[in-house]
Amino acid sequence: MLDKITIADVSENYGRLTVVIPVRFTHDRADMLERLSYIEEDHKIPREVNIMVVDDGSPKRLAAQIRSHCLDHGYSYIHINSEYHPFSIARARNVGASYARSDYVMFQDVDLMPYDGFYHAVLKEIRVQGLDENGQKFLMFGVIYLTRKATAEYLTSDRDIRKETFVQHLFDTRNDLIEKVSTGTSVIAINREYYLARGGNDEDFQEWGYDDIEFNCRCIRKVRKFPLPDEFRLDYKNCASITEYKGWKSIYRLFGDMTFQKGIMLFHAWHEVDSNSDYQKGRVVNERLFNKKMLDFATKGIEPPPLHSEMEGSTLVFSETNPFIQSREFLPRLGKVFVEKEEDFSAKSLLRYIKDNGISRVLMHNPYATSKRMSFYRALRRRKIPYLIAERGALRDSVFFDPNGFNADSASYDAKLWDKPLTQAEEQSVEEYIRKEIAEDSSLEAQGARQGSAKIRKKLGIRPNQKILFVPLQRPSDTVIKYMCGPIETHDRFIELVGETATALGDEWVVVVKKHPLEDLTPEIENAVFDNDGHVKDLMEACDAMLLINSGVGCLGMIWGKPVYHAGSAFYSHPAINRQVTTAEEILDGIRSGFKPRRETVYRFISYLINDFYSFGTFTTREAKWEGDSRMTVTMAIDFYQIRGLGQTRFNSRTEPGVITNRDSILMDRYRYAMSAKPEPRAPQKRQPVKKESPATASHVEVETLSRREKLRLKKEQNPRKYYADSKFFLARLYGKIAF
């Protein structure tokens, strides 16, 4: 993308949708301002819809006229200094999305005309199709192409029945008024931050053609809205006439069909097309590039680098590879990203760098990981410079981006933020989360196979009348042990507390201890039983109470409804849902009093974590040696499916296994009926001799009308070597090698 934006008159009003209109006008376009006015054919544009014209290199005099027109009409206007570069609609769309101030962006060519209520229908469709619930979804809108005569009639027709009238012309096959219709188009509405995360339209494409298709095909593959057709990368037939669920066009048009069948579409104003123009020549080059990029994405996941959001300012990070602070899915939400090396700074030079470069915030991983990073963290907090701390959360798949600190030293867990009545939907989301978490075998760290609580008790020789106090140990080298032990002070003192408690509880209780999965040494604790191979969830199910320092397992204990006693400073500490203890007597007092976590308060806290504070993603990890005899889990990648605390929108993308809309949908009728239709009987025809010509020279229409059997016969006669080489049967391929 060119960095030179000479003019950026962008509305400060944050909206729901920004309509981005890319243009480049030349001196031979007398209808320039008329076409810019087409968007106002919708007299009912909602206030939450912003109009943005992105001018990719119009000459200076024309640019001044366009800007004046936009300012008069309340549009945002951006001029890219690219006059002497080839026009790039991809670049214009990307710039528009970067500068837009809205949840969603919609791309609309300047030749397209709406009708009264069109943009209101788009906003409704965003809600109806659930784009807020799944940010990977997008809307596509079909286009009816008008003739010159119809364009003039459209602009003067009765506004109340304009859309319906011209749709009727389409139904009546009025070729004098309707040139064609396409439901698979470049007109899409999509989550703005998701568009930026995908890298937008690939700017390797020049002029017009295929840039939008390539982007949309990437989105189609990721969203899993419909089952992928056979031979997805095949450029088969065209979107208007295709009746086989085969090739990318067959699924591409379905996205436009969804809105078109609801009566939501745009109308294309007629204009002359120079078939010998550079635009047409460029399409040939772009088509080859499109095929290559389709293959690269399908096989290697290659996409353009993410784009940044101008409204988010700038962020300083200290790593190019750490997935907690460098991820395609959330980088656009950080604005312009500055990447520097941590070792190049002192706390003093860091503050100077932030001021000199106008940095909006600093994003860092665990601030206690190194002494230098800790000095940065403390300096930022003293100076009240905005920062974000990124680290793994207490729940499976969770990550937090905390602007207020780290774990127990953060104000983000203050009860005033979460101890509030839940809506019915919030309560249901917590119940669903708890059900899934209890049923799920995986956890934060590797565990033994789940066996169930009965087998745990039998294995450990625990009698039916005995109760279990479960103690999940933490790593002595862990940050929250080194710096947040709180009143218990040290890990060794906690081990002493466990032993004292095991003795004080007597025979009525059994203290079951599990060492941390990444620790190789097991401490000695008198009167305690160890189960280092058991699954932590089996032990939580079997236990009657839990004792720990400040482990995230405490959150899981509350999910299981267990009384949790914590001896250190814990971010989840709250008297209604757990108890802080430092002596065995305090633990016994809690047990004697029958302390139980308050279910409603637990639900409020868990709802805050899963719905408001935590982001979630699928982790790719490996083990590595750590201090002493311990090991650590190294996170290699995080595939985010929920993002909270960054940017303007709450991103959700995770869907249930399988596709969202299956083959039973009415949208698939054109393919289902085509496959089930029986061919009409044909009169016997005398077989005509086939000329020995290359398949490449055969008429496309002739090849398309042949049956599969006839195609194979033709292939065998024209190129028998390839015919046998392509056979699925081994003996046939072997025969081909010998005979030819």
> CA-to-CA distance for 740 and 735, rounded, in angstroms?
8
The phi, psi pair for 707, rounded to 5°, reads: -75, 170
| pLDDT for residue 692 is more than 80 | no
| pLDDT for residue 689 is more than 60 | no
Between the alpha carbon of residue 198 and those of residues 108, 229, 606, the distances in Å are 19, 23, 31
Q: Are residues 173 and 99 in the same domain?
A: yes
Residue 355 covered by a domain = yes
Q: At what angle do helices 584-592 and 491-505 cross, to 10 degrees?
A: 50
pTM for the model: 0.87
Q: Are residues 334 and 277 in the same domain?
A: no
Between the alpha carbon of residue 425 and those of residues 133, 209, 432, 641, the distances in Å are 13, 44, 10, 20
Choose the weakest-confidence range: 51-55, 81-85, 191-195, 619-623. Answer: 619-623
Between the alpha carbon of residue 332 and those of residues 116, 638, 650, the distances in Å are 34, 16, 13
Residue, of 419 and 518, whose pLDDT is higher: 419
Q: Are residues 371 and 239 in the same domain?
A: no
Q: Are residues 595 and 459 in the same domain?
A: yes
CB 549 within 8 A of CB 567: yes
Of 257, 277, 300, the residue that ends a domain is 300
Residue 361 covered by a domain = yes
Q: Residue 719: pLDDT band by 50, 70, 90 thresholds?
A: low
How many CA atoms does the CB half-sphere of 348 hold within 13 Å?
Answer: 0
Place of tokens 């206007």: 77
Q: Are residues 369 and 504 in the same domain?
A: no
| pLDDT for residue 736 is more than 70 | no
Residue 600 covered by a domain = yes
Q: What pLDDT is stored for residue 672 in this prediction?
A: 83
Strand partners for 344: none
Of 254, 280, 300, the residue that ends a domain is 300
For 81, counting Cβ atoms within 10 Å of its Cβ (0-12 exposed, 13-18 middle, 19+ buried), the class is: middle
Choose the weakest-confidence range: 523-527, 643-647, 701-705. Answer: 701-705
CA 375 to chain CA centroid, nearest Å? 34
Q: Are residues 179 and 291 in the same domain?
A: yes
> CA-to-CA distance for 703 and 469, rounded, in angstroms?
76
Task: Give the tokens for residue 650.
Answer: 């709450």
Q: Are residues 234 and 329 in the same domain?
A: no
Choose the weakest-confidence range: 13-22, 87-96, 662-671. Answer: 662-671
DSSP states of 217-273 as a string? HHHHHHH--SPPPBTTT---S-TTT--SSBSHHHHHHHHHHHHHTTT-EEEEPP---
Q: In sequence order, which residues have a C-beta less than 8 Å from that of residue 4 and are 6 or more positions away?
A: 80, 81, 82
Question: CA angle, corner 701, sides to 698 and 707, nearest 5?
Answer: 90
Residue 457 covered by a domain = yes
Q: Once rounded to an integer, what is the mean pLDDT over residues 708-723?
A: 60
284 C-beta neighbours (distance < 10 Å), count: 10
Amino acid at 161: I
Q: Is 217 left (phi over 0), alpha (psi -120 to 50) or beta?
A: alpha
* DSSP secondary structure letter of residue 652: E
Q: What is the CATH number of the domain that holds 321?
A: 3.40.50
Between the alpha carbon of residue 22 and those of residues 89, 95, 157, 215, 281, the distances in Å are 6, 10, 27, 16, 20
Q: Are residues 179 and 144 in the same domain?
A: yes
Give the total number of structural domains in the chain: 4
Q: Are residues 53 and 175 in the same domain?
A: yes
Q: Kindly report, residue by residue over 395-411, the tens digit of the pLDDT.
A: 999 999 999 999 999 99
Query: Considering only CA atoms, which of 402, 398, 427, 510 is closest in space to residue 462?
Result: 510
Task: Give the tokens for residue 560.
Answer: 């299981």
Q: What pLDDT is stored for residue 681 in this prediction?
A: 47
Strand partners for 639: 618
> CA-to-CA distance for 282 and 268, rounded, in angstroms?
22
Place of tokens 């969603």: 104
3-state secondary structure of 150: helix
Residue 397 covered by a domain = no
Q: What is the CATH number of the domain that holds 280?
A: 3.90.550.10
Query: Considering only CA atoms, which of 98, 72, 289 is closest in space to residue 202?
Result: 289
Q: Are residues 621 and 712 in the same domain?
A: no
Choose the weakest-confidence range: 587-596, 648-657, 658-667, 691-700. Answer: 691-700
Q: Once rounded to an integer, what is the mean pLDDT over residues 244-271?
A: 96
Residue 314 covered by a domain = yes
Q: Once rounded to an integer, what is the mean pLDDT over residues 337-364?
A: 97
Q: Residue 29: pLDDT band by 50, 70, 90 thresholds?
A: confident
Q: Are residues 315 and 284 in the same domain?
A: no
Of 333, 367, 392, the residue that ends a domain is 392
Task: Give the tokens for residue 254.
Answer: 């379905």
31 C-beta neighbours (distance < 10 Å), count: 13
Query: Considering only CA atoms, which of 582, 564, 594 is closest in space to residue 471?
Result: 564
Q: Kindly report, residue by residue over 571-588, the tens digit of the pLDDT.
A: 999 999 999 999 999 999
Range with the largest mean pLDDT of 232-246, 426-440, 506-520: 426-440
Q: What pLDDT is stored for residue 285 in this prediction?
A: 87
Q: Are residues 278 and 316 in the same domain?
A: no
The mean pLDDT value of the chain amounts to 89
Q: Kindly report, residue by residue over 137-178, the tens digit of the pLDDT.
A: 999 999 999 999 999 999 999 999 999 999 999 999 999 999
| pLDDT for residue 289 is more than 90 | yes
CA 328 to chain CA centroid, nearest Å? 9
Q: What pLDDT is stored for residue 694 in this prediction?
A: 38
Query: Considering only CA atoms, which of 54, 140, 145, 38 is closest in space to residue 91?
Result: 54
- Expressed as residue numbers, the domain containing 351 is 310-392
Residue 408 covered by a domain = no
Residue 422 covered by a domain = no
Q: Once rounded to an integer, what is the mean pLDDT over residues 436-447?
A: 81
Q: What pLDDT is stored for residue 1 in this prediction?
A: 47
Between the alpha carbon of residue 726 and those of residues 131, 690, 731, 736, the distances in Å are 44, 21, 12, 10
Torsion sign (Cα): 163, 169, 173, 177: negative
